[in-house]
Structure 1
């Protein structure tokens, strides 16, 4: 998109927020880069330079606009939709892999050489993996500076900087302001968004942007209707859950607001702030481009009325891909309520308890390495499904199945299908909820077959597959609309409990 200069100029001139995150506009005369929707005076086209990433704009010598804060734009929807090497690399970078393992670790996870990764990422994003990770560190640093009372040395450490000097230099270069000046400016406007003191948790509030429209009904309804007691809950108008992050456990609380998602975080280690934020965005599919999805699905006159009635549906995903795979096996051929009961039993028997519970959240979901030692008394299910569950746990524990952000989706789906008791429904459900495949489509699902009949299509699997081809590559979103034709609780905003 950003290479089409005329289209970029039109988007900037109309301050079109739909393109925020797709590209960034730098202005030669000011040395500043902005999001397309920046409310400042539109620069002359000859002074504009367009970049595919904030890291590329920073590498070009431009600093972030203080008015539109381009580093807080929604992420590009391309990286979650595409399945190529660059998209897989971007998902891993967003999940903090470069900060934890370096570019060598990124290349190892993707199965390519460092040189190949550098060349392809730089060729498309205008900056290499290290520069992209540095831009993320700068954003994390700004969040901590503005939303916490942490000493600056702790902020630098938590944001992933190797030294105070590197932290100060980066913040000044990117934001044209020192960390102390940034904090003072926020204090003049409003107090920092921090929670009650705790010996276990660092607390903070964030606002997560998204592209409008966003329909929260099925998104939060699905997450809460399938919530596992002790791990997930709906409380005070927010979906809350525990997360297992690289440096320790965390709890998140997400609630929909008209123009953003309110995110409250409890972190045991501040170094996980960036990863926690990325997981929240992934979980709620916040980087989607709903107008593009809805426009494509509306081309089918049978689906168009459903889309028009509920624009902006997202695909509810998972905060833990391994957990979701296990839960999908638990849910094979049983009701949502029964699946929750099975999962809760495993959590109480094998989950790691939190040092300090948050509301009704008491445990982390068990890791696959622990579940492969599950005994029959904790698996009140047919022997065939017990074998499937243990086979899944074993494969995940041994890294024979890759459900990470950088997974090759087709390779993973083939590996899943090779496991005993795993059929197309399970594979497509895991691809949708855990891998984030926008075209995943569990065609044999009873809810989808019922929805298909509602729009006048035969519910025979062969017919559904043929008819669904016109919805590609957005069949996971079409599935949300088909499920919504029923009155199931997954389609409704949760009630207060």
Structure 2
């Protein structure tokens, strides 16, 4: 540790599908506030620490993750280490998923092919919520474009030449019409974005420490937030390893079913780790 910054090694239980992890992060990376270097297996972004926003470069190695923090404050380093561990699912013992799913006729071959696949979360639940709303019913490329416009217009310069994602109070203070013109969203989607920011500004906590049922109910009470969004955020932001957006189109196509109810029934044997089943199915659909 130095006065200018610190580097911490975060070990994990191998194997780790780091190519797939970085590919997912890159697909959702917000222009201006995140940099992903696939050849170096690294991502650099702003994360909120006790002292304020800090830049963090995360490098995925074969046996550990190295996090370099632009702060030497011990409180910051400890907080960032915890956030990165949760974000990248570093505490998973892959053998647990292999043992639980290895004999399942559908999941067994997927788990055998990628035993180190993790549930990649997000280091900031509020940011995850806004970018998820921006991505509703559009391509990932369009979602990244919308998020980049939001950051460019309302973010602030941060460390390491990165932009700080605009805080909830800032987004909530912007008139809906201004948001719509700046980002290019539909009116309904902009109102949902604004409502999520307002709820977050009012205290909605989207972190792994929350009461899952109460938080899901709070999300569903926001106009424009439906079951898919709430369940997706449970996977990416809340750390719920049984979260399972049964209505997801890619999931239903992969399972060969038409309704969310059918996808729910098929997933009963995968409890209480349905999010791992989800990630394996999504990954197979994306990379097969």
- TM-score, normalised on structure 1? 0.54
Equivalent in the alignment of 1:217: 19
User: Which of 476, 479, 491 pairs up with 2:278?
Assistant: 479
Could you tell me whether the CA contact under 8 Å between 1:347 and 1:366 is conserved in 2?
yes
The 2-side partners of 1:244 and 1:282 are apart by 14
Corresponding residue for residue 240 of structure 1: 44
What do residues 9-59 of structure 1 show as CA deviations (whole Å, max 9, x unaligned)? xxxxxxxxxxxxxxxxxxxxxxxxxxxxxxxxxxxxxxxxxxxxxxxxxxx
1:260 aligns with 2:69: no
- Which residue in 1 is equivalent to 2:152? 348
SS in 1 for 2:153: helix
- Is the Cα–Cα contact under 8 Å of residues 119 and 275 in structure 2 kept in the other structure? yes
Q: Contact 2:9–2:64 (CA<8 Å) still a contact in 1?
A: yes
C-alpha deviation, 1:312, in angstroms: 1.8
TM superposition shift of 1:259: 1.3
Decide whether the 8 Å contact of 2:48 with 2:54 is kept in 1.
yes
Which residue in 2 is equivalent to 1:206?
A: 8
Report what 2:162 is aligned to. 362
1:459 shift after superposition: 4.0
Secondary structure, counterpart of 1:206 in structure 2: strand
Deviation at 1:240, TM superposition (A): 1.3
Contact 1:452/1:464 (8 A) holds in 2? yes
Matched residue, 2:77: 273
Q: Partner residue of 2:210? A: 407
Higher relative contact order (CA 8 A, sep 6+): 2
- Work out the number of aligned pairs and report it: 282
Q: Any conservation in 2 of the 1:349–1:378 contact (CA below 8 Å)?
A: yes
How big is the shift at 1:270?
4.5
Residue 268 of structure 1 and its aligned partner are, at CA, apart by 7.0
Q: 1:171 aligns to what?
A: none
Post-superposition Cα deviations, 1:415-441, rounded to whole Å, max 9, x if no partner, equal 111111111100001111110100111
Q: Distance in 1 between matches of 2:88 and 2:279?
A: 13
Q: Distance in 2 between matches of 1:297 and 1:240?
A: 33
- Assess if the C-alpha contact under 8 Å between 1:267 and 1:273 holds in 2: yes
Q: Does 1:426 align with 2:229?
A: yes
Deviation at 1:443, TM superposition (A): 1.5
Is 1:311 the counterpart of 2:111? The answer is: no
SS of equivalent residue, structure 1 residue 333: coil
Find the aligned partners of 2:73 and 2:172 in 1 and give their Cα distance: 28
1:268–1:369 CA distance, 2 compared to 1 (3 A): farther
What is the CA deviation profile of residues 283-303 of structure 1, one whole-angstrom value per residue up to 9, with x for unaligned ones? 101112221122212232121
Provide the residue aligned with 1:396 in structure 2.
200
Q: What SS is found at the alignment partner of 1:420?
A: coil
Answer yes or no: is the 8 Å Cα contact 2:220–2:230 preserved in 1. Answer: yes
In 2, distance between residues paired with 1:276 and 1:366? 19
Question: Does structure 2 conserve the Cα–Cα contact (< 8 Å) formed by 1:297 and 1:474?
Answer: no
Describe the shift of the 1:218–1:446 C-alpha distance in structure 2 as closer, same or farther (beyond 3 A). Answer: farther
Q: Secondary structure at the match of 1:332?
A: coil
How does the TM-score come out when normalised to structure 2?
0.92
Corresponding residue for 1:465? 264
Contact 2:12 2:64 (8 Å CA) reproduced? yes
RMSD, matched Cα: 1.7
Residues 193-222 of structure 1: CA deviation (Å, up to 9, x unaligned): xxxxxxxxx223221111222221322111
Correspondence for 1:7: none
List gaps (5 residues or longer) in structure 2: none
8 Å contact 1:208–1:260 — kept in the other structure? yes
Provide the secondary structure at the position in 1 that maps to 2:117. coil
The answer to whether the 8 A contact 1:439-1:472 is kept is yes
Higher-Rg member (1/2):
1
In 1, the alpha carbon distance for the partners of 2:219 and 2:286 equals 31
Match of 1:447 in 2: 250
Unpaired stretches in structure 1, ≥5 consecutive residues: 1-146, 151-201, 492-497
SS state of the match for residue 285, structure 2? coil
